[in-house]
Amino acid sequence: MHIEKAAYAFRMNGTPVSCVVFGHGHINYTLKVTTDAGAEYVLQKINKYVFRDPVRLMANASAITEYLRKRIDDPRLALHFIPTYQGKFYHRDECGEFWRAYDFVGGFCLDMPETDEDFYQSALAFGRFQQQLMDFPADSLYETIPNFHNTIDRFRQLKESVKTDSCKRLADVQQELSFALAQEELAGTLQRMRESGELPLRVTHNDTKLNNVLLDRATRKSLCVLDLDTVMPGLSAYDFGDSIRFGASTAPEDEPDVDKIGLDLHLFEVYTKGYLQAADLTEKEIEMLPMGAFVITLETGIRFLKDYLDGDLYFKIAYPEHNLVRARSQLKLAADMLTKMEDMHNIVQRIAKEQA
C-alpha cells in the first residue's frame, strides 16, 4: 500500500497504514488515510492552478473552522483541520505542492436532492453557517478570488471579451449578449448596496451546492458545510442566490433545451424556509434574497458566455459548445426569475413573518 509522503507531515493519531483515493471532486486530489490507531482522515493536495495562493486560502479556512469549533457541541458540525508538526494547517512538499488534512466524518453527500427534505437540510446547513459566523470579522478574511461576485466588474470583463472576439464567436451569441446587457443596470444592484454599506458584509461560502453539505447517514440531517476553499467576505444574498440557481432550477445548468429551464417556486419556498429558520439576517438582507437569486444566476450566465467567447479557458467543457449551452441555460433561468420576482418576494416575506 502506497502512503503519500505528505501524510506523515500532519499530527495524526497513529501511523498511516492505508491511503486510498476518495470522493469524486474535480479540483483537488483527495485521499482517505487510516492509521494503525484506527483514526481516519481526509488528505488533500490543493490545486494551486485553480487556487493561486494556498497559504491565504488555508488562513481563511482554518480561521473559520477554529472559530466554529469553539461554538459547537457536536464536533461533526464543523471541519477540523489537522496541524502539521510545525504547527501550520498546510504542508508544502519538496515539489512545491500544498497539502492539508482534516478529520474524516462519517456521512454522505448528494449531488442533487432526492426529496424536498434534502434541499431543506442543505438550507439549514448554509443558514446555520451564516448565523454561526455573524460575529466573525468578515473583513479580516482574504479575498482569495478578488471581485468574485462583483457583477459590475463581471460585465466589464464580458465587454472586453466582446471587443476582442479572439475566437470569432461573437456572431453566435448576439441574442444572449443582447439580453445580458439589457440587465446590466439591475444586475449591479447588490454590488452598489455592498459598496454603500446598505447590506452588511458577511462570511460567505460562495459554493452553496447540496454536494457541499455533509448529511448524517442515520438521520439524514445536515451536519457541516464542506469545501471552504472559496470562503471570503461577501453578502448573504450571494450564498442564498447560488443555492437557488443550482437547486431550484427545473433542469441542470447545461440542459440544451432551454424550454425545460425555469425556476421551481415550490423548491424556492422549501429552501427559503430552511435558510431563514437558521440564518439571522437584517430586514434589508431578507428583502434582497430574491434579487440575489437573479443576480447570481445572471452573473453565472455571463461568466459562461465570456468563457465561450474567450475559447473555453476557465471552465472545463465536454464538447465545443458546452459553455454556450451553459450560458443559454443560466440566462433563461435568470429571465424566468424576472417574471417570477414578485412571487419570490411574496414567498420570502410570508416565510419571514411566519418565523418572526
The residue whose grid cell reads 446547513 is 125
Same domain, 165 and 211: yes
Same domain, 142 and 164: yes
Residue 32 belongs to a domain? yes
Domain count, the chain: 2
Same domain, 131 and 43: no
Extract the runs of DSSP E, i.e. beta strands, from the chain.
16-21, 29-35, 40-46, 91-92, 98-103, 202-204, 213-215, 222-225, 232-234
Residue 108 belongs to a domain? no
**AA identity, residue 315:** F
The residue whose grid cell reads 505542492 is 97
How far is it, in rounded angstroms, from Cα 195 to Cα 73? 36
Residue 74 belongs to a domain? yes
User: pLDDT over 90 for what percent of the chain?
Assistant: 89
Residue 29 belongs to a domain? yes
Residue 284 belongs to a domain? yes
Give the global pTM: 0.92
With bands split at pLDDT 50, 70 and 90, how would you rate the model's confidence at 10? very high
From 103, 131, 148, give the residue that closes a domain: 103
Same domain, 198 and 286: yes
Same domain, 41 and 164: no
Same domain, 232 and 188: yes
DSSP 206: S
Same domain, 159 and 221: yes
Residue 109 belongs to a domain? no
Q: Convert the pLDDT of each residue in 287-314 to its tens digit.
A: 999 999 999 999 999 999 999 999 999 8
With bands split at pLDDT 50, 70 and 90, how would you rate the model's confidence at 26? low
Same domain, 90 and 134: no
Q: Convert the pLDDT of each residue in 76-112 to its tens digit.
A: 999 999 999 999 999 999 999 999 999 998 889 998 8
Q: Convert the pLDDT of each residue in 261-284 to its tens digit.
A: 999 999 999 999 999 999 999 999
Same domain, 341 and 262: yes
Same domain, 133 and 243: yes
Looking up residue 44, the CATH number of its domain turns out to be 3.30.200.20
Q: Convert the pLDDT of each residue in 157-195 to its tens digit.
A: 999 999 999 999 999 999 999 999 999 999 999 999 999
Same domain, 33 and 181: no
With bands split at pLDDT 50, 70 and 90, how would you rate the model's confidence at 27? confident
Q: Is the pLDDT of residue 23 over 80?
A: no
Structural domain boundaries, residue 188: 116-355
Residue 111 belongs to a domain? no
